[in-house]
Amino acid sequence: MPARYIRRSLEPVLKRAAGEFPAVVLMGPRQSGKTTLLKHLFAKKYNYISMEPPDIRAAATEDPRGFLEMYPPPVIFDEVQYTPDLFPYIKERIDSRRDVSGQYLLTGSQNILLMEKLTETLAGRAAVLRLLPLSNREAAGRPQAPLPWEPDRRDAKAPAMSRTDLWAGFLRGQYPELAANPDRDANLWHAGYVQTYLERDVRTLRQVGDLSQFQGFLRALAARSAQLLNLTDLARDLGVAVNTAKAWLSVLEATYQVLVLRPYFANLNKRLVKTPKVYLLDVGMLCYLTGLKDPEHAASGPLAGAIMETAVLSEIVKSLTHHGIDPQVYFWRTSTGTEVDFVVETGGKLVPIEVKLSSTPRPAMASSIKTFREDLGAKTLPGYVVHPGEIKLPLGPGVTAWPYRHL
Is the pLDDT score of 211 beyond 90?
no
pLDDT at 278: 97
pLDDT at 115: 67
Q: Which of 55-64, 150-159, 367-376 has the lowest mean pLDDT?
A: 150-159
3-state helix, strand and coil shares in percent for the chain, rounded to the nearest 5: 45, 15, 35
- Residue 151: pLDDT band (50, 70, 90) is confident
- Angle between helices 242-254 and 211-223 in degrees, nearest 10: 80
pLDDT at 206: 65
Q: What is the pLDDT of residues 77-90, one digit of tens each?
A: 999 888 888 999 99
Q: What is the pLDDT of residues 258-310, one digit of tens each?
A: 999 999 987 666 665 589 999 999 999 999 999 999 999 999 999 999 999 99
Is the pLDDT score of 156 beyond 90?
no
Mean pLDDT of 46-59: 95
Mean pLDDT of 27-37: 94
pLDDT at 202: 82
- Residue 21: pLDDT band (50, 70, 90) is very high
Domain boundaries along the sequence of the chain: 11-130, 136-406
3 state SS of 268:
helix
Q: What torsion, rounded to 10 degrees, do the Cα atoms 192, 195, 200, 201 define?
A: 100
Cα separation, 119 vs 29, in Å, equals 20
The chain-wide mean pLDDT, for the chain, equals 91
> Where are the alpha helices (H) located in 181-267, listed in sequence order?
186-196, 211-223, 231-238, 242-254
The backbone torsions φ and ψ at residue 45, rounded to the nearest 5 degrees and listed phi first, read -110, -15
pLDDT at 255: 86
CATH number for the domain whose boundaries are 11-130:
3.40.50.300
Q: What is the pLDDT of residues 302-358, one digit of tens each?
A: 999 999 999 999 999 999 999 999 999 999 998 888 899 999 999 999 999 999 999
Is the pLDDT score of 1 beyond 60?
no
